[in-house]
Structure 1
Amino acid sequence: MKERVYSGRQFFHRQKNNEVKRLDTVIKNNSITPVEAGSIVTPKGFCAAGIHTGVKRYRLDLGVIYCEVPASSAAVYTLNKVQAAPIKVTKDSISKEGKLQAIIVNSGNANACTGTKGVEDAFTMRQATAEVFDIPERYVAVSSTGVIGEFLQIEKIVNGIKKIKALTQVKFDAAERFNEAILTTDTINKRACFQTTINGKTITFGGAAKGSGMIHPNMATMLAFITTDANIEPVWLQKALSHVIDLTFNRITVDGDTSTNDTVVVMASGLANNESLTDEHPEWDQFVSGLQMTCEHLAKKIARDGEGATKLIEVQVKGAMNDEDAGKVAKAIVGSDLVKSAIYGTDANWGRIICATGYSGAEINPDTIDISIGNIQTLKNGMPIPFSEEEATQYLGTENILIYVDLHLGDGYGKAWGCDLTYDYVRINAGYRT
């Protein structure tokens, strides 16, 4: 069969709406830089710790992030109508002033579908943390992850909280211990750190996340915690986070399930001493881009660590009527079990890709669609073109898979991330409680 190779870079020249285009320009100008050894404690004012309480048999199961000053805070939560008790407590805390100083997180038990007792236990975690750190209860957020429908071993958790403050003074592996303490079926710690400059001040973003199964957009089933030393009021931090979430954590999927506990919390200490940020600040885009890169980095790590996954799949869509439609197409493709299975089996079955495009709910014209798998084009103007099956199979055997789709209808742009679907996903979830 005649081979035709099409450059992914040429094929996918980005065209986006004005706001997204501005943010993309900031990123391309290399004004946001990664800090390879950085973490949630790299921004000024933050410390963290992780401890073993006995809720899990061996692994760390309780973590805390603490800020030395009340930090401007913002959060987004699962859209599942069944929401776990910790979410109710965190919403209560942030609604008071939009400030937090501590986030306490337990793993091994989601404290979800546990009724009045579950809510009482979550408030007990908040109270115990406030007492240990000598801060108001309204400055404490609570988060939990693990098995649904079982009561917390609250005595073990409270005893752990009483001991955890001393561990925040240990800087050597504090962030790694926190990261480990929030994991469930994850196989790796997920962290991120980026820096930029605003008003001549270095602004740092740190992040930690967990998530491996029950991952689906709006949000994924995951917890994520972002720290920054930027000076910004809660209302503007919430605006930035809400925008960024839609472009990052709302664009990942593993298995189509949305959890009861999904939470993303951002804390901003203000200790970088930049001018207070609003959307009228001349470097507002710089801040939003830094937050976006941090969240995207964590989102991709979650997608790559999907239960049983062997590959990260990224779908990029351009030429849609608008960005929303582009996102719909990208999420439909990356969420398709048939696409995910084909990629696991190194089968360049582009028919599954166009099928997902068709049921995405976006406006499309089947006669104008281009599809490429990596740099191998398989469809042009809705018509199949010859390609090397051998080269496609070789490409699909790598760990990072890119799928490009051009709808040729407008300037809309979007992307989404997921993973392949493997035998191990069934094995892990068949025995999750045992």
Structure 2
Amino acid sequence: MKIASKQPISKVTEGSIVSPQGYSAAGLHTKVKRKRNDLGVLYSEVPAEAAAVYTLNQIIAAPLLVTKESIAKEGKIQAVVINSGNANACMGKQGYLDAETMKKSVSKRFSIQDHLVAVASTGVIGEKMPMDKIIPGIDSITPKKTNQAAYDFNESILTTDTCMKSTCYETYIDGKKITMGGSAKGSGMIAPNMATMLGFITTDANISHPHLQTALRDITNETFNRITVDGDTSTNDMVLVMANGLAENKPLSPTHQEWETFKQLLKQVCEELAIMIAKDGEGATKLIEVKVKGAISSADAGKCAKTVVGSDLVKTMVYGSDPNWGRLMMAIGRSGITLDPHTIDIAIGPYALLSKSEPANYSEKLLSQYLDNEKVEININLNMGNGSGKAWGCDLTYDYVRINASYRT
């Protein structure tokens, strides 16, 4: 059995989704949306091992069906095409045909096999795809390996997002520099049930499809599955990872001594993107981070954290800077985990509210001032075991209603 090693992981300050070897990207405006880029392409100069996780909504948009079929063929992807402004969801047979047409158009544009193309769409559900705009865009788009190209791609995938979500990290495995970049979108219709968002991750690491899929599935449960904005799970959401092997490290697997280094690299990218999404919730003014320890298991801790951060009453409590900790106890109690109602500690920021389920002395004025911060930390100790977990969300504001009441207009 090999001894596990763990190399340091560093953030690449000016890095992006095109920073790993062999990747390029592009984004342009096809007028599907009134303004901003709405069509993007991500391209690897060689076929890349691919892994993906998808929405758990039983109604799945056509682009995801097409992407699943592509990856199932060989476990590889070389190009991804994504449009925003139209979800191509709930459009019946025509929706599937349109997604297939997008796939074949990209295949032709870059002279690659059909099954090496993934398709993603995001936007309004139930409207016909404007293929008269999409296809000319695909025919003219030219990926490049520049910061501007990455910026254009990042912009092309946004809907109600108020900011782009991008990150990049690097480490060394087998003496080879391994770089991983990520780009994501997500602001509304976000629930802790898979990854209600679109996320694209690129790396030059050498790893096969099965092991990459295992790593992504495990890490999704600790990152994208731990965010919520409004409790709704979309029809279109997916996280896709591409690994083209150009770093030329030895093939990664659970028996490789640097397997944990790779998983930590992937977790760092996924967690940062997940937090960005939670922070950018529609109408949000504050990021909420819930940390739970002392649970019977880490699964219980994660479930408890997700329940608390997803509670509308907790979210409005944070928005109003109202230290009504009874809402926290309510959410903990309905989380469905094993607990003892007499052993719970709760703190918001540095202020202890409960000790062994008994109210603590604290300054309501100071606690209310703390709740005015852009990031609010809620710490819960169940005092039952060694399980720990985290979840992220945002406050619920009047603007959330305003944004979604006029989403199509």
Give the TM-score category using the shorter length: over 0.9
Counterpart contact for 1:220–1:259, Cα < 8 Å: no
Choose the corresponding residue for 1:216, options 175, 191, 216. 191
Shift of 1:35: 1.0
- The equivalences for 1:28-39 within 5 A come to 31-39=8-16
What secondary structure is seen at the aligned counterpart in 1 of 2:352? strand
**5+ residue gaps, structure 2:** none
Match of 2:115 in 1: 138
Match of 1:96 in 2: 73
Counterpart contact for 2:201–2:240, Cα < 8 Å: yes
AA partner of residue 59 (structure 1): R
Shift of 1:349: 1.3
- List per-residue Cα deviations over 1:312-336 (Å, max 9, x = no partner): 0000000100011001100000000
Match of 2:399 in 1: 424
Matched, 1:247 2:244: no
AA partner of residue 192 (structure 2): P
Match of 1:78 in 2: 55
- The equivalences for 1:263-412 within 5 A come to 263-412=238-387
Matched, 1:227 2:217: no
Counterpart contact for 2:70–2:115, Cα < 8 Å: yes
Matched, 1:65 2:42: yes
Counterpart contact for 2:195–2:238, Cα < 8 Å: no
Choose the corresponding residue for 1:111, options 88, 91, 97. 88
Choose the corresponding residue for 1:184, options 159, 164, 167. 159
Counterpart contact for 2:49–2:209, Cα < 8 Å: yes
Matched, 1:160 2:137: yes
**After alignment, is 415-424 or 386-395 more displaced?**
386-395
What secondary structure is seen at the aligned counterpart in 2 of 1:173? helix
Counterpart contact for 2:18–2:145, Cα < 8 Å: no
Shift of 1:220: 3.8
Counterpart contact for 2:349–2:379, Cα < 8 Å: yes
**After alignment, is 54-63 or 85-94 more displaced?**
54-63
Q: Distance in 2 between matches of 1:390 and 1:272?
A: 54
Counterpart contact for 1:220–1:253, Cα < 8 Å: no
User: In structure 2, do the counterparts of structure 1 residues 369 and 174 end up closer, same or farther at CA, with 3 Å as the change threshold?
Assistant: same
Match of 1:13 in 2: none
- Under a length normalisation based on structure 1, what TM-score does the superposition of the two structures give? 0.92
Q: Distance in 1 between matches of 2:227 and 2:147?
A: 32
AA partner of residue 112 (structure 2): I
Choose the corresponding residue for 2:390, options 407, 415, 418. 415
Q: Distance in 2 between matches of 1:351 and 1:176?
A: 44
Shift of 1:170: 6.1
- List per-residue Cα deviations over 1:195-235 (Å, max 9, x = no partner): 11111111111000000000001124210000001000000
Match of 1:120 in 2: 97
Shift of 1:169: 3.0
Counterpart contact for 1:40–1:193, Cα < 8 Å: yes
- List per-residue Cα deviations over 1:275-304 (Å, max 9, x = no partner): 000011011000000000000000000000
> Which 4+ stretches in 1 moved above 2 angstroms?
none
Report how many aligned residue pairs link the two structures. 407
Shift of 1:32: 1.3
- Under a length normalisation based on structure 2, what TM-score does the superposition of the two structures give? 0.98
Match of 2:146 in 1: 171
- List per-residue Cα deviations over 1:30-86 (Å, max 9, x = no partner): 811111211100011100000111111111100010000000000000000000000
RMSD of aligned Cα (Å):
1.3
Shift of 1:90: 0.2
Q: Distance in 2 between matches of 1:280 and 1:408?
A: 35
Counterpart contact for 1:367–1:382, Cα < 8 Å: yes
Match of 1:236 in 2: 211
Match of 2:28 in 1: 51
Q: Distance in 1 between matches of 2:147 and 2:381?
A: 47
Q: Distance in 2 between matches of 1:409 and 1:369?
A: 9
AA partner of residue 62 (structure 2): A
Q: Distance in 2 between matches of 1:73 and 1:54?
A: 30
**5+ residue gaps, structure 1:** 1-21
